[in-house]
């Protein structure tokens, strides 16, 4: 997600969900729920939706690697950093 708040145009959020439409409504305060970190940068819009994972665990692992590229050995190996 990317914040549409003019004061925070570079704020992003990465998260896993099985229902993107419902989840963005939560992040934008239209429905109850949503991550605490997204409240002050509302509203949000999708930049990308990655789908097709074989299991929820695979999707959550992808989320972790995307959120932690410098700690992820998978990402480091993919881009050639040691």
* Distance from the Cα of residue 57 to its chain's centroid: 15
Percent of the chain whose predicted confidence (pLDDT) is above 70: 91
Residue 82's pLDDT is what? 55
- Find the mean pLDDT for residues 55-68: 93
d(Cα 4, Cα 7) in Å, to the nearest integer? Answer: 9
Task: Summarize pLDDT for 27-61 with one digit per residue, the tens.
Answer: 999 999 888 889 999 999 999 999 999 999 999 99
Residue 75's pLDDT is what? 66
Tracing tokens 């991550």 back to the chain, one arrives at 35
Residue 10's pLDDT is what? 94
| Whole-structure pTM value | 0.79
Confirm if 2 and 47 have CB atoms less than 8 A apart. Answer: yes
| pLDDT above 60 (res 78) | yes
Structure tokens at 51: 């789908």
């Amino acid at each position: 997600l990317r914040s549409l708040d003019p004061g925070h145009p570079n704020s992003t959020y990465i998260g896993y969900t099985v229902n993107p439409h419902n989840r963005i409504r939560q992040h934008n305060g239209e429905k109850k729920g949503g991550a605490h970190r997204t409240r002050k940068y509302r509203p949000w819009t999708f930049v990308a939706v990655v789908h097709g994972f074989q299991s929820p665990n695979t999707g959550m692992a992808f989320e972790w690697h995307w959120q932690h590229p410098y700690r992820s050995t998978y990402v480091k190996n993919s881009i050639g950093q040691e």
